[in-house]
Amino acid sequence: MTYLFMAYSVIWTLIAGYVVVLGRRQKELKKELQLLEEWNSEK
């Protein structure tokens, strides 16, 4: 049972990790877009 728990923990952790990485990339892009918009409106 310990091995089964270990295996499925690895599966969920790695999948969740990749989803978090994608989320971070999206967040960073939103920030950069906001900066660009601000810069554009100031011009």
Q: And the tokens for 32?
A: 């950069």
Rounded CA separation 20/32 (Å): 18
Rounded CA separation 30/24 (Å): 10
If one asks whether residue 42 binds other proteins (CB under 8 A), the answer comes out as: no
If one asks whether residue 20 binds other proteins (CB under 8 A), the answer comes out as: no
If one asks whether residue 16 binds other proteins (CB under 8 A), the answer comes out as: no
Q: And the tokens for 16?
A: 């969740």
If one asks whether residue 18 binds other proteins (CB under 8 A), the answer comes out as: yes
Query: Which parts of this chain interact with other proteins (CB under 8 A)?
Result: 1, 3-4, 6-8, 10-11, 14-15, 17-19, 22, 25-26, 29, 32-33, 36, 39-40
